[in-house]
Structure 1
Amino acid sequence: MELPSGKTNKSEYSVRRSSRPFTKDYRIYFERSHDKTPVSSFHDIPLYHDKDKGILNMVVEVPRWINAKFEINRNERLNPIHQDNLDQNPRFVKNLFPYKGYIWNYGALPQTWEDPHHTTPETHTRGDNDSLDACEIGRAVASPGDVKQVKPLGVLALLDQGKTDWKVLVVDVRDPLAARLDDVADVEEHLPGLLAASVDWWRLYRVPDGRGGNGFGFGGRWLDRGYANNAIGECEDAWKRLIAGKVSSGDISLANTTLKGTPGKIDPDKVHLPPDEVLSPAPI
């Protein structure tokens, strides 16, 4: 298995990769391109690229067709991307017929938090203590660490191990189809079958590992863009409480280099990221 190039597709942020992909030591760190300031992928990258137009930033963790379960490490300082572990080994999501790996570019919306103290009234479940997840459906295959500009189209209420785990459907604003996609109904019109396939994938992706299928709120129905924006707003407000120290952060690192007045603010001059390494992936 090979990874895409690993270069961010926009000039605002760049990455530094450390160690070999598909190992427990692999990390992807983020920095601002223009001044090389180290930043947290969770806290420093803004949620909104253009709030007036509703355009969001999305941090890509897993490119489409890839099986490696890369994710933002919420526990480590500045929240680099790492590969999740299963039984002390790097985790790979098994192929689920007829799909190959993840079926979208998968990642996170920065400056959001699914509050584990908050119960979603419609599902009676609490947040999963992570950033909001995003499924990007544009045609380009991304790279781990890309920061994409996307617009929300809808949201799915996945219930993962008894926790609320929203999946926000988004499209890269530069995708050729983006101008024609404004809501989930447009997705069904222009990409027929993708919504149903996405529900199917989320329901069954753990089954090959010997675990049960996932459930959904709202009968497994994709909710519209308005509902997605409400969920995004609630999770942005929850993150603001988190980063301000108004709620317990638990094991989440609040370290950041740009948010003045927050308890986790650190001096970027005292952060020394490792040099960027482009190493071949370890054997699987």
Structure 2
Amino acid sequence: MTTSPTGSPTGSPTGNAAKNSAGNAADQAKDAGRQAQDSDWMDKAARVGLVAYALIYLLVGWLAVQLALGDHEGRPSSTGALRELTQQPFRDALVWAVTVGMVFLVVWKGLEAAVGHRDEQDESKRTRKRVMSAFKAVLYAAVAISGFSVATQSSSSGGGKSSQTTWTATVMNWPGGQLLVGAAGLAIIGYGAYQVWTAWTEKFAEKLDAEGRSGQSGQAYIAFGKAGYTAKGIAIGVVGGLFCYAALTHDAKKSGGLDEALLAVLQQPFGPVLLGLIGVGLACYGLFTLARARHLSK
């Protein structure tokens, strides 16, 4: 009979009981997570979070259009959108409401990553969906952190660019840092391409329930989604391109977030027209997200 490091037999009733107890605790945790995911409160929280996310994209689209028209005051990014809310009546309440909504989305996608997608029979597809849910939870968390920073006035108006540059510069100085930044850029470009593919295959329609896909309103939602996912994919692709350019030139200042990507678009031939179209598309993504909040597919 073998013994454990503590001297107790590994096959003893005590050892088996401990294993069974740990297994039961894990099963109970999974069951609790699944119950939370399937609960009415989680459904309502997800809808509230989607409304908050829609508001972010509506404002980003508006700021992008304003930038295309020559107004350089706002920054077309999630942080810029949150700062725009601080200029409105009830500004503190609005920013906190959006921030709490983003936290709801983090919890929703976190639960999906941990215990969700049980209806998917293919193990590899279920794993991919869980990884994507985890990725989205991280993205939503970044927006929630920005919202908290804006709500507590703990970040300066120009902090987005400097923090992005600092992060990229830090990684660039690691061994193989250029390759890592370049790989990140390629991954971001790939995600942007996936968004465009989602648009033109209309795969996003799966996010709506049957009522949300039917009738004239359903056709409008699909049109919003198609324009929105296309614009979002293009904008994300430009962000990835900036990372790749920063890696090639070993210049962290060449990288940037969504606002820097849209500024790069503005500097191209017919830039104001292109940026205006992308801004309208991002606003359409916000409208589709509002439709999704109302017709959330189970």
Superposition TM-score tier, normalisation by shorter sequence: under 0.3
Structure (1 or 2) with the larger CA radius of gyration? 2
TM-score, normalization: structure 2? 0.27
Higher percent of residues as helix: 2
TM-score, normalization: structure 1? 0.27
Higher percent of residues as strand: 1
